[in-house]
Structure 1
Amino acid sequence: MRLAVLALSAALLAGCATPTRDARLQPGVSREAEVVALYGQARRVWPEADGGRTLEYSTQPMGQHCYMVRLAADGRLASIEDGLSAASRSRIEPGMTPEQVSRILGVERSRVFFRLSGEDVWDWTVEPDQIGYGLRFNVHFKDGIVVRTTQSMVFPSRFPGLDD
């Protein structure tokens, strides 16, 4: 039953406006108060070197997007990007720190430490290339820096009740 409710909720949310598609938000015109009125408080706020800020709207652990709303120093909307898009994920490179990764991808779905390899693996639920399975983007850290990235397919269970 819970799985059916989650599926219905996801289907309903898919039709909702998102910051990247919301015609009410205009770069150079809209202000932070308008963004917050439409989408609520950001999950995290990142200060930028030029005095601006980036508001993070992550849909993890179940969603597949993380909207990064960039505000200029004067509080006006500069841009909106999906931190979990393929283009954003491709920016993750070996040598990056956890903070650098978080500033691009947003808050992770989970973290798992693998004692034998010494890797701390963070993952994000992302849009799959095809229907029929889920997809996770994984960032492998060792000694506090990125060593590699991988992807994991997540297939629906053949056994009803195990997905709940």
Structure 2
Amino acid sequence: MAAALLATVLALAACDSRNISELEEGVSTEADVRARFGEPENIWDGPNRGRIFEYNRQPQGQKNYMITIGTDGKMSALRQVLTPENFARVQPGMMMEDLRKMLGKPAKVTPYALRRETEWEWRWVQPPNSSMVFTATLNDDQRVVRSGSSPDRGTEAP
């Protein structure tokens, strides 16, 4: 079973690389994006009335993509959002919805009823190839109280 899971993860990573190379900012259309990535996990309102398509690769993968479609129907940005720079932007008091829009759907959500907290976890790769887990802890008000990264003991980076 572990071998099948690894094969799936590697195939998905190879498909993403090929799909990304076939898209060009300012040229590729929404139809091009959907043809290569499929239906998005979520669609967010973006800046200047554009839209942001979320393509989640959790829990097996270690990337989440946000693809911005401008008001002209063309792709204006494609970015992998599970990065140290984005994690540094996560601050105490940040709302759950803002966290979700920035990082995408987490790999794992664990509620701790007695502590009245919920942990959200994302798997990611710290360059050059260290498997990591970023955890954001939210309180009952759905606001971040703390966050940080630690080594992912359950996987090896591709």
TM-score, length-scaled by structure 2? 0.86
SS in 2 for 1:94: coil
Query: How far is the alpha carbon of 1:22 from its aligned partner?
Result: 2.4
RMSD: 2.2
Q: Which residue of 2 aligns with 1:141?
A: 138
Contact 1:82 1:88 in 2 (8 A): no
Kept in 2, the 8 Å contact 1:46–1:55? The answer is: yes
Unaligned 5+ residue runs, structure 1? Answer: 158-164
Residues 120/84 of structure 1: CA separation in 2 closer, same or farther (3 Å cut) = same
- Cα 1:33/1:140, change in 2 over 3 Å: same
Q: Which residue of 2 aligns with 1:155?
A: 153
**Which deviates further from its counterpart, 90-99 or 22-31?**
22-31
User: What's the % identity of the aligned pairs?
Assistant: 29
Write the mapping of 1:11-22 to structure 2, written as runs, cut at 5 A.
Answer: 11-18=10-17, 22=20
**Structure with a larger share of its residues in helix:** 2
1:80 aligned counterpart, secondary structure: strand
Aligned partners of 2:47 and 2:13: how far apart in 1? 34
Q: 1:49 and 1:39 mapped to 2: Cα distance?
A: 22
> Relative to 1, partners in 2 of residues 1:156 and 1:91: Cα closer, same or farther, differing over 3 Å?
closer
Determine whether 1:121 maps to 2:109.
no
- 1:6-155 matches, cutoff 5 A: 6-18=5-17, 22-128=20-126, 134-142=131-139, 143-155=141-153
Distance across 2 between alignment mates of 1:119 and 1:87: 25
One-letter amino acid of the structure 2 residue matched with residue 41 of structure 1: E
Structure 1 segments of 4+ aligned residues over 4 angstroms from their partners: 128-131
- CA shift in 2, pair 1:134/1:23, >3 Å: closer
Uncovered stretches (5+) of structure 2, i.e. residues with no partner: none
> What is the CA–CA distance in structure 2 between the aligned matches of 1:48 and 1:13, rounded to whole Å?
26
CA contact (8 A) 2:123 2:152 kept: no
Measured against aligned partners, the alpha-carbon deviations of 1:67-91 in whole angstroms (never above 9, x if no partner) come to 0001111111111111112222222
TM-score calculated relative to the size of structure 1: 0.83
The separation in 2 between residues aligned to 1:3 and 1:109, in whole angstroms, is 18
Contact 1:45 1:55 in 2 (8 A): yes
For 1:149, the aligned partner's letter is S
Aligned residues: 154
Task: Give the superposition deviation at 1:128.
Answer: 4.4
Q: Distance in 2 between matches of 1:156 and 1:139?
A: 18
